[in-house]
Amino acid sequence: MELGGSDPFVVMPSADLEQAVSIAVSARMINNGQSCIAAKRFIIHEKIYDEFLKRFVAGVSAIRVGDPMDEKTQLGPLATAAIRDGLDNQVKSSVAAGARVATGGKKLEGEGYFYVPTVLTDIPADAPAAQEELFGPVASVFKAKDLTDAIRIANGTSFGLGASAWTRDAAEQDRFIADIESGLLFINGMVASDPRLPFGGVKNSGFGRELGEFGIHQERTRRRRPGGETIRD
């Protein structure tokens, strides 16, 4: 059972910054931000934080919002009014708690459930943008002091579905693989679902696995004899 996520996207100084920013925009806005494995919390090392944020905000601000039937459109509406209004309330509550809007931060009036592509910074640890799943085009950006701090922030929610880490340092890659609490972890790549690999989360992101060899074994049906003994088919 998959129950959502608040996937971290960690960027370290050794990363290819241009590539990381480009993928970060796509990873947050995929399916108009309505994806369980979309990157949602962007955790950036303090040495590159300012430059990443400048480029990331520029990329998010440049997204073309409009009719999904128009080939030039890059971001369409959200699925329902409830999703859009709930997202707006999460943003407003986060701002009230102290978060800053770097771009966006509002609904678009008119036909369709549109929300302006948004970037939030300076987010308190207990704000909705830090703790909850934001199911729409809103990115939460955090500054990390070092590798250990980045992992602490990444693990600082009740979710654990997917995660991605951007670094060309082999030792840092090993730390992320060992210490980030997630069912899926991608190094220098966007989190994706692949039928060859088991898919599922940890913590409040659900339980069990689908896809891949492990998913096939887990999906075997279970029956019980009248006496209570379990039979595996």
Would you state the pLDDT for residue 217? 73
How confident is residue 25, by pLDDT bands cut at 50, 70 and 90? very high
Burial class (CB in 10 A: 0-12, 13-18, 19+), 69: exposed
Q: What is the largest CA-CA distance in the chain?
A: 65
The pair of structure tokens assigned to 133 is 């799943």
User: Within a 13 Å sphere around the CA of 202, how many CA atoms are in the beta-carbon half?
Assistant: 11
CA 105 to CA 213: how far, in whole Å?
A: 42
The pair of structure tokens assigned to 148 is 């250990």
Helix (H, G, I), strand (E, B) or coil at 233: coil
Give the containing element (helix H, strand E) for 142.
Answer: strand 138-144
Q: Which residues pair with 120 in a beta bridge?
A: 101, 140
How confident is residue 219, by pLDDT bands cut at 50, 70 and 90? low
Amino acid in position 123: I
CA 200 to CA 96: how far, in whole Å?
A: 34
CA 59 to CA 55: how far, in whole Å?
A: 6
Instruction: Say if pTM beats, i.e. exceeds, 0.85.
Output: yes
Which tens digits make up the pLDDT trace of 52-82? 999 999 999 999 999 999 999 999 999 999 9
Concerning whether 36 is annotated as a catalytic residue, the answer is: yes
Dihedral of CA 208/187/193/116: which sign? positive
Least confident of 69-78, 195-204, 218-227: 218-227
Helix (H, G, I), strand (E, B) or coil at 232: strand
The pair of structure tokens assigned to 207 is 């339980």
CA 82 to CA 101: how far, in whole Å?
A: 22
Whether 230 has a pLDDT exceeding 50, the answer reads: no
Concerning whether 213 is annotated as a catalytic residue, the answer is: no
Helix (H, G, I), strand (E, B) or coil at 65: strand
Catalytic residue among 18, 36, 132, 210, which? 36
Helices 49-61/17-29 angle, 10° precision? 50
